Structure 1
Amino acid sequence: MVKYNLEPSESILIQSTGVCEGSGLMTAFTDELILTNMNIIHVSKGLFGNTKSVRKYPLNQVKIINGEAQASMGKSTNGIPNLQIYFTNGQLSFKFQSSAKKEIVKYVNGISKVLIGRESNLVANQFAIPGAEIVAETLKDTIGVFKGTLGIKSKGKAADEPVKATKKCIGCMSPLTGTKGQSIRCSYCDTDQIL
């Protein structure tokens, strides 16, 4: 890893090796990529590990559109996932040699946390299958109806947990709390009742 002179208020958040810039097919994964709380630093290296150049891209130049930092996972021409960052004056893309998707998610969320204070919704939306949430909820409800019709009780913590109940005493109207179906005696008027 290359030594990089940080600004006094700058700190490294993520640092990766085995990176290449751009979307070319015949590129070597020799570069380094560093994300700090202020900059994206690209260290270009030769095949033998010699440092060719160190380029710094300020994070405050990354576009923010509709509350989302414009850093996302894309695909290069050969289908390999890449990190795409859109600046006010241009665009960068980086590919990772190993654990590409995992590394890209780390960078997208890191950039997003610095710029907008939270993880990116752009990454989460790329892994979601459109309509999967609706289908899953519909299946859950359908299975629940079949189980209820056949008299099968659900196995799980939700079915076994007691349901809390609150109501007023039938004798003196004071508040009573406990578990639904529990027999309880009012502490004010000694009236026995079921919640």
Structure 2
Amino acid sequence: MDHYDLAPNEGIILRHEGAYHNQKFVPANSSGKSSELLLTNLNLIFIESKIKMFKPVYTVLKFPLNQIKIVNGQVQAFILKKPRDWTLQVLMQNGAETFQFPCEFYERIKVKQEVGLWIEQMSLLLTGKSAENGTDASLVGEIKNVLGTVGINVKSKKPENVTAKCIGCMAPISGEKGQTVRCKYCDTEQTL
């Protein structure tokens, strides 16, 4: 994260260390590599560090969220199962990007839930709606079943209305929690 400067109106929503971008599975730290995947309210950001000549070299890839395809109100982001990971596939205006989340056998459910959370957050940011009724309803049902077997009740929540101040001009803004809204005074977008 030290090698990417957030825009003034940009904030981090999700972060995952150890993801891979458009690559085959490589065990962590096997080649002096480290990586980080960030979801902000404006971009998907992939940061990779490699050791070359005893110095770290950083590669930063930025994918604007407004370039993600939306079809029939559904964000085009999917979970793919690979032998050693769960993969987040995001269909962009100019092609597809994949991000692998490596996992051990005992971590499979947890990592699949995490990838589902990335899809959910992208859907909320881009459409203001939950992905539950969209691209991965089976995952939501599976998560509810898993949580139910360990004694956790999962109830649907009604949207919570929130009032905040614009990060650009400090004017009052309101909407549903998790919704991205645009300030009517300065056009700054932010997630409530």
What TM-score comes out, normalization by structure 2 length? 0.59
1:125 counterpart residue number = 138
Letter in structure 1 aligned against 2:92? F
SS of corresponding position for 2:136: helix
From 66, 71, 75, the counterpart of 1:69: 75
Measured against aligned partners, the alpha-carbon deviations of 1:19-56 in whole angstroms (never above 9, x if no partner) come to 11124144647210010111000101226893421011
Contact (CA 8 Å) 2:45, 2:61: kept in 1 or not?
Answer: yes
Offset, 1:111: 0.6
- TM-score of the superposed pair, with normalisation by structure 1: 0.58
Tell me the distance in 2 between the aligned counterparts of 1:105 and 1:73.
7
CA distance, structure 1, for counterparts of residue 93 and residue 87 of structure 2: 19
CA distance in 2, matches of 1:4, 1:23: 22
Maintained 8 Å contact 2:84/2:102: no
In 1, are the aligned partners of 2:68 and 2:93 still within 8 Å (CA)? Answer: yes
- Helix, strand or coil: the match of 1:50? strand
- Residues 117 and 51 of structure 1: CA distance in aligned 2, closer, same or farther (over 3 Å): farther
> Which residue type is aligned with residue 138 of structure 2?
N
1:115-194 matches, cutoff 5 A? 115-121=126-132, 122-126=135-139, 128=141
Partner residue in 2 for 1:13: 13
Shift in Å, 1:95: 1.4
2:85–2:102 Cα contact (<8 Å) kept: no
Q: Quick check: which has more Rg, 1 or 2?
A: 1
Match of 2:111 among 76, 91, 100: 100
What is the aligned partner in structure 1 of residue 149 from structure 2? none
> Where in structure 1 are there 5+ consecutive unaligned residues?
130-195
Structure 2 match to 1:192: none
Does 2:62 correspond to 1:56? Answer: yes
Q: Residues 33 and 40 of structure 1 are in contact (CA less than 8 Å); yes or no, is this contact kept in structure 2?
A: yes
Shift of 1:75: 2.0
Q: Which amino acid aligns with 1:71?
A: A
Q: Would you say 1:85 and 2:96 are equivalent positions?
A: no
Runs of 4+ in 1 over 6 A off after TM superposition: none
Shift of 1:123: 2.3
**Structure 2 stretches lacking a partner, 5+ long:** 104-109, 143-192
Alignment RMSD (CA, Å): 2.6
- Residue in structure 1 matching 2:35, options 25, 31, 34: 31
Whole-angstrom distance in 2 between the partners of 1:64 and 1:25: 28
Separation in structure 2 between the aligned mates of residue 110 and residue 74 of structure 1, nearest angstrom: 17
Deviations 1:35-91 (A, max 9, x none): 011100010122689342101100000000111001121123x36311111101011
Mapped to 2, the partners of 1:2 and 1:97 lie a distance apart of: 23
Amino acid at match of 1:86: L
